[in-house]
Structure formats: C-alpha cells, structure tokens
Amino acid sequence: MSKNEDIKAIDLSEDAVYVVCDNKITKLDSPSTGFGKQEVTWQKGKPTHSEIKYTQMLF
C-alpha cells in the first residue's frame, strides 16, 4: 500500500453494499421496502451508475 492511499473503516455490523472507485468509497442505498436488488453499471472498467429496484409484497 502506498503512502497516498487512504484507509477507510466500515461498520461490519451493518448490512450494506459499497462501491470503491478512484480511491472513493460510496455506500449504495438499500431498497426502501427491504426487498429488492441493486444493479451496478460498469463502463470502461469502472462502476458508473447504480439502479435500485424494490419488490412490493402483495399478501
């Protein structure tokens, strides 16, 4: 690890998804209903967009 790299701490007791790109860490939003999925779009080898889809329980 070089001197220019930062070390970030994350809370391992919290369920979450993170994306690391260009030395920055971003926590993705979770589906608001608690059910769903997160899709990450990559372009030229880097994550560029995330899409959050949720599922609604009917019964």
22 dihedral zone (left: phi>0; alpha: psi -120 to 50; beta)? left
CB 39 within 8 A of CB 48: no
If one counts the domains in the chain, the total is 1
Q: Give the model's confidence band at 29: pLDDT under 50 very low, under 70 low, under 90 confident, else very high.
A: very high
pLDDT in tens, 33-49: 889 999 999 999 999 99
Q: Mean pLDDT across the stretch 3-27?
A: 88
- The structure tokens listed for 26 are 């971003």
- Whole domain around residue 38: which residue ranges? 1-59
pTM: predicted TM-score of the whole model, two decimal places: 0.74
